[in-house]
Structure 1
Amino acid sequence: MLSHELNPARVVPSPRATAGHTAGSVGNTPVVWVDTPFTADGKGFWAKLEGHNPGGMKDRPALHMVARAKERGELRRGGLIVESTSGTLGLGLALAGIVHGHPVALVGDPGMEPIVHRLLLAYGTSVHLVDRPHPTGGWQEARRQRVAELLDGNPGSFCPDQYHNPDNVAAYEPLAAELVAQLGRVDVLVCTVGTGGHSAGVSRALRRFFPDLRLVGVDTTGSTIFGQPARSRLMRGLGSSIYPRNVDYAAFDEVHWVSAAESVHTCRTLAAAQYASGGWSVGAVALVSGWLARTLPAGTRIAAIFPDGPQRYFDTVYNDQYCAEHGLLDAAPAAEPDVVGHPAEREVHRWTRCANVVVPDGALAGGGR
């Protein structure tokens, strides 16, 4: 029997719940079948198009984390919402700030896409850009330190702290319920991993229905999350230079690392073949999902989370000049990933798979280095 919280019959909100505000359109995103350009034999995977939310997938945790903070009294009346973001959560927090009547201050870095920066300003947020990475924690740690300064200077303010807040994980239960209602069965779930929120939240909820569900994580080269060394990274929305406590290492059956060039090629190829595409995270998760569709037995039902659409990436992924300057053009991924037996076996620079997911040294403490 389906639990009350995850009953797919309860997924579609009532007209009263959706009337009168943009927030009512968050959720109930479509799924589409994707085969070409990855397969030609009837196999494929289902893509959950989270770009159909007003600001993307992170509208879900933004609204949930702010609502829960208000319920607990952590966010006071008129208090400032402050967060570190590469963009997507910022768009969600801009919506949450409007819904709940709170000002929003967001901390980014020079890698924030120009269109996102301009949208955040248009939505009434203030945007603070740090100008240099932290010596060991990279841009993420530099942003987090600026967040701490803003919190200290604004009594009554609140930081959702998406990397370590369990409300970020809980916010994705409705997404899992939608997948159950839409697909009936999910055998394999493919998620990119950044804060760890949606991979933990969706998989945890789905396993109540499908205990044998396999979770495949997709990270970027140069990310520390699964035990690789921290390096400068072009891709935003996945990967980390710190160890988010929301990452549920025990939940993963395998992890893949994908490079920026491989993601760009996949994004563009997918757009031309399917029209449904997106940015860095979508390219990475689609590459891995396509390989799984080719190699797993026929009939395996694969669900891949596409966190956003392509529109905000016209200055990066879909900009030939940007891609040429960063060496991202004409780099078609191999047909198969490299394989390592342990995440620390060697540093990886291209699409690589590891079926031995371990907790990296230092990750248990959380919060970076």
Structure 2
Amino acid sequence: MDISLLESVPPLSPGAFAPAPRTARHPAHLVGGTPVLWVDEPFAPPGLGFHAKLEGANPGGIKDRPGLHMIREARRRGELAPGAPIVESSSGTLGLGLALAGLTYGHPVTVVSDSGMEPAVVRLLTAFGARVERVAAPHPEGGWQEARRRRVAELLARTPDGYCPDQYGNPDNAAAYRPLATELIAQLGRVDVLVAAVGTGGHSAGTARVLREYAPGLTLIGVDSVGSAIFGQPAGPRLMRGLGSSIHPSNVDYPAFDEVHWVAPAEAVWACRQLARHHCVSGGWSVGAVALVAGWAARTFPPGARIAGIFPDGPHRYLETVYNDTWCDEHGLLGRERPDGPDEIAEPGERVVTGWTRCGRVRDPLGRDITKAVVR
């Protein structure tokens, strides 16, 4: 950080006070208006960094936005009756958003997760009044997500007035991110390149769609996890949570993407820890993966390109994993240097990727022909 920037700010004179901030009258009023932080070294040389949108500043993270929006819209349409239960599958962040929505609108919330949900998140959800139910084993074909979705279906069958927002296929998920996009425009003036992690596909689709209303030439870079099936790789075991999927969510807007990068856990851990060490801001797996790729974009795109990366959450739920030396060492994630750049494949299914890899062709694995070649 250039300390001279701080030294240029004049101190307040004695007795001078900033205007009192407006007091939020409900926790839901704290959602949105998140800050942006400039990030350069060690991801990019000074002056060639990127703008990080810090969605971890929301009470529960980025999915507070769709949690509130999906429930509000379901109530407006009459799909969710007053006081009726909400049941949804989540690895954690949407669960926190739905707990906030349940508190806001008066609905009991059940979050269906799995054994990978961090104990801290389970305790936090319980403290917020949500009930957490975890499946014991992954589905043989659809993995943990499919196992969780089937449990949701079982619970709904026993709860006639229950409602599932279906974050994987509900268009309200993507629509919830219009405010995020308009905040970026207000904060940055324009965005030339957007780097976004992809899980359900909501925030990448919704944010890029609105940004392209202002800048039709926007480049959208998707960030996925190794072992994820979203962009045509075979589904496999995934250590990273919050991005990637063993199913193909219909909210993923394949035609919107210009390229995709897959990132491995060790690379994400390196990035998370560098963010914390150099910028006093960090987060979980998605944050690390996005920072790694956004830094590459800052080094690769023409100087002057305005690059934004969306950081979906903060570091707190990852203190016993990403930021725990013992846990990381047990999983072989420490002591590795950042690669200078990604490996390259010409087609999404060319080979199974095990580390940071880029592909300039994006295809819908379920068959739509939306091939888009990018050569840089």
Mark the structure with the bigger radius of gyration. 2
Deviation at 1:62, TM superposition (A): 0.2
Question: Which letter does structure 2 place at the counterpart of 1:88?
Answer: T
Measured against aligned partners, the alpha-carbon deviations of 1:307-327 in whole angstroms (never above 9, x if no partner) come to: 011111101111111111111
Matches within 5 A, 1:188-267: 188-267=193-272
2:102 to 90, 97, 100: 97
Q: Which runs of 5+ in 2 are unaligned?
A: 1-19, 370-376
Q: Residue deviations 1:217-261, cap 9 Å, x none? A: 000000000000000101111000000000000000000000011
Structure 2 Cα separation of the partners of residues 41 and 159 of structure 1: 46
Residues 88-132 of structure 1, C-alpha deviations (whole Å, 9 max, x = no match): 000000000000000000000011011101100111111001000
Q: Which has the higher mean CA deviation after the structures are superposed, 18-27 or 225-234?
A: 18-27
Map of 1:354 onto structure 2:
359
Residue correspondence of structure 1 range 138-153 to structure 2 within 5 A: 138-153=143-158
Tell me the equivalent position of 2:88.
Answer: 83
Q: Give the aligned partner of residue 54 of structure 2.
A: 49
Distance in 2 of aligned mates of 1:123 and 1:112:
16
Q: In the aligned structure 2, how far is the partner of 1:161 from the partner of 1:233?
A: 22
Q: For the residues of structure 2 that align with 1:321 and 1:157, how far apart are their CA atoms?
A: 42
Distance in 2 (alpha carbons) for counterparts of 1:115 and 1:310: 12
- The answer for the alignment partner of 2:169 in structure 1 is 164
Query: Percent identity at matched positions?
Result: 65
**TM-score (norm. length: structure 2):** 0.91
**TM-superposed deviation, 1:333:** 2.6
Give the distance between the partners of 1:331 and 1:221, measured in 2 at CA: 17
Is the aligned partner of 1:342 residue 2:347?
yes
Q: Output the amino acid matched with 2:124.
A: L
1:282 aligns with 2:287: yes
How far residue 363 of structure 1 moved from its aligned partner, in angstroms, is: 7.7
CA contact (8 A) 1:79 1:155 kept: no
Structure 1 position 332, deviation (Å): 2.4
1:270 aligns with 2:263: no
Equivalence for 1:33: 38
Distance 1:49 1:345 in 2: 34
Q: Does 1:127 align with 2:132?
A: yes
Q: Indicate the SS of the match to 2:95.
A: helix
Unmatched segments (≥5 aa) in structure 1: 1-14, 365-369
Tell me the distance in 1 between the aligned counterparts of 2:61 and 2:231: 25
Secondary structure of 2:150's aligned partner: helix
Letter in 1 for 2:363: V
The residue matched to 1:305 in structure 2 has which SS?
A: strand
Structure 1 CA distance, aligned partners of 2:173 and 2:330?
35
Call closer, same or farther: CA 1:146–1:362 in 2, change over 3 Å.
farther
> Contact 1:333/1:351 (CA < 8 Å) preserved in 2?
no
Report how far residue 280 of structure 1 moved.
0.3
SS in 2 for 1:339: strand
On the 8 A contact 1:245/1:363 being kept in 2, the answer is no
Match of 2:306 among 292, 301, 308: 301
Residue pair 1:18, 1:25 contacting (<8 A) in 2 also: no
Q: CA deviation at 1:76?
A: 1.3
Pick from 313, 318, 342 the counterpart of residue 313 of structure 1: 318
* 1:32 counterpart SS class: strand
* TM-score, scaled to structure 1: 0.93
* Alignment-mate amino acid for residue 280 of structure 2: Y
CA drift at 1:361: 3.1
Paired residue total: 350
Correspondence for 1:107: 112
Contact 1:49 1:306 in 2 (8 A): yes
3-state SS, counterpart of residue 256 of structure 1: strand
- The letter for the 1-side match of 2:27 is T
**Distance (whole Å) between structure 2 residues aligned to residue 107 and residue 43 of structure 1:** 42
Return structure 1 stretches of 4+ with deviation > 2 angstroms.
361-364
Q: How far did 1:19 drift?
A: 3.5
CA shift at 1:142, angstroms? 0.3
Question: What is the aligned partner in structure 2 of residue 8 from structure 1?
Answer: none
Residue 61 of structure 1 corresponds to: 66
CA separation of 1:363 and 1:152: change in aligned 2, threshold 3 A: farther
CA–CA distance in structure 2, aligned partners of residues 265 and 41 of structure 1: 19
- Structure 1 distance, partners of 2:243, 2:358, is 16
Q: Which digits, 9 at most, give the CA deviation of each residue in 1:281-311, with x for residues without a partner?
A: 0000000000110111111100100001111
- One of 112, 117, 122 as aligned partner of 1:117: 122
